[in-house]
Amino acid sequence: MPVLGLGVWQMAAGGETEQAVEWALEAGYRHIDTASVYRNEQSVGAALKRSSLPREQVFVTTKLLPTHLSAARELEKSLSRLGLDYVDLYLIHWPLPLVTARLWRQLESLQERRLARAIGVSNFGRGRLDALKRGTSRMPAVNQVQFSPFHYRRRLLDYCLEQAIVFEAYSPLDRGQGLQDPTITAVAERLGRTPAQIMLRWAIQHQAVVIPKSSQQQRIRSNSQLFDFELADTDMRILDALDRTNGTARARR
């Protein structure tokens, strides 16, 4: 699974999504994250087709809306919109009490049929992952959750890594809001990088897969330039301290 992907939530179907995916593929992204609920799978598929890249070179994720009770029917619809024979990763978009275990068993059978090469979940905390572990035979390959220096979910991250579940960071730029934070901008200026690169690099160094969204070509490009520098331990700790998930904003250093 490529450690960097393009997220396409809130991109309009049609030109905006097609263009962004095309720019991302040109910039070297080989991983696209969509969902049935984003209503742009068809545009992702159109851009993939136009790129002429071999299917096996692009990792495509889509997600099942858990209120639909037939995962097979929903995946078939997603595949038809994407114009693909299989997805690389199929996720349950969020946990829904009472139906998750049943949906998960359906996903297992979709994986056995090779319609989804890997299966996983999104927005699952440790309790829900544990419940899945007790009730089913296979653990999710991936858990996609909100993760950025402002949502540093250390215990969930550690749990996923211990259980060999890939930890995938959504909203890794804090939906664009984190980019003006003075701590982030100070580190960025000191290292001659963009604030987005600093936030993405922080997540990658915590072993997360990142899927930033941008519809702008220059940002799509610069968000992918993450592999020629490293954050020092001291900078990692400074960014770790921005966490506000426990409800108490810690002192900014």
Ligand X SMILES: NC(=O)c1ccc[n+]([C@@H]2O[C@H](COP(=O)([O-])OP(=O)(O)OC[C@H]3O[C@@H](n4cnc5c(N)ncnc54)[C@H](OP(=O)(O)O)[C@@H]3O)[C@@H](O)[C@H]2O)c1
> Cβ closer to ligand X: 88 or 174?
174
Catalytic site includes residue 90? no
Least Å from the CB of residue 237 to ligand X: 22
Give residue number: closest CB to ligand X. Answer: 7
Alpha carbons 199 and 170: distance in angstroms, whole number = 12
> Cβ closer to ligand X: 134 or 220?
220
Q: Given the rule CB under 6 A, which residues bind ligand X? A: 7-9, 33, 93, 122-123, 144, 170-176, 179, 194, 196, 211-216, 219, 222-223
- If you write DSSP's letter for every residue of 181-209 in order, what string do you get? -HHHHHHHHHHT--HHHHHHHHHHHTTEE
Alpha carbons 91 and 67: distance in angstroms, whole number = 13
User: Which parts of the chain are beta strand (E)?
Assistant: 6-7, 31-33, 59-64, 87-92, 116-122, 142-146, 166-170, 208-210
Least Å from the CB of residue 146 to ligand X: 7
> Cβ closer to ligand X: 28 or 113?
28
Instruction: Kindly name the residue from 29, 38, 90, 152 that is annotated as catalytic.
Output: 38
Distances in Å between the Cα of 204 and the Cα atoms of 2, 9, 58, 236 are 11, 21, 20, 11
Least Å from the CB of residue 177 to ligand X: 8
Q: Which residues does the annotation mark as catalytic? A: 38
